[in-house]
Amino acid sequence: MHATGEDAAAFVGAWERLTGQAPTVKMRQRIYACSSVVGPAAVAGSLRPAAESDRELLVGWYIGFMSEALGEDEPEEARRIVEARLRDASDASGLRIWEDADGAPATMVGFGLPTPHGIGIAPVWTPPERRRQGFGSAATAASTTELLEAGRSFVFLITDLENPTANRTYQAIGYGAVCDAEQWEFAEPAINPS
């Protein structure tokens, strides 16, 4: 089913009328797709598959991503996701690490959610002390290129519209806007036993 903004507004209105509770927008997002990478500025380093020896680093980074980007504090969920992606790494799901020129890990890029013709990139996360050096752009461009060369027609990703840096970064490497979306948060309705 394809829902329009009007469909969402109608559902939200009905929810509020029936429950007496007003849902809130949790996040406004933009969906992007790329079928041809425009190389970012040259950044020293390289992309490599994540290894079992990276587990604790990746768990820490995933916790950081979930906290910063999603407002969630769920370390066990972060561990579960990282362990699953390391265990089930394939051409349909995995994690990559961008290493700087000295071989030090600088950025994490995940991919998954395959469709018949595409695949998604998520998450992309650089620790705060490594930001503004181009590692996230380089890692995203390299991962996107890798996925396209593996036979995908396009690669997609979703951004938070409140993060202008990410939106600019992805457009600069060849991602084009497809549509906008909203995540709504609904409180559980009170159950009336009568």
User: How far apart are alpha carbons 87 and 69 in whole angstroms?
Assistant: 24
pLDDT at 20: 82
User: How far apart are alpha carbons 2 and 48 in whole angstroms?
Assistant: 37
End-to-end CA distance of the chain: 34
DSSP labels, 84-119: HHHHT-SSSSEEEEEE-TTS-EEEEEEEE---SSEE
pLDDT at 90: 87
Q: Which residues pair with 25 in a beta bridge?
A: 184
Which segments in the chain show pLDDT lower than 70? 1-5, 189-194
Q: Which amino acid is at 155?
A: V
pLDDT at 1: 36
Beta pairing class for 154-160 and 118-125:
parallel
pLDDT at 147: 96
Q: Which residues pair with 121 in a beta bridge?
A: 111
Q: Which residues pair with 23 in a beta bridge?
A: none
Q: Are 123 and 133 in contact (CB under 8 A)?
A: no
CB atoms near residue 177 (< 10 Å): 13
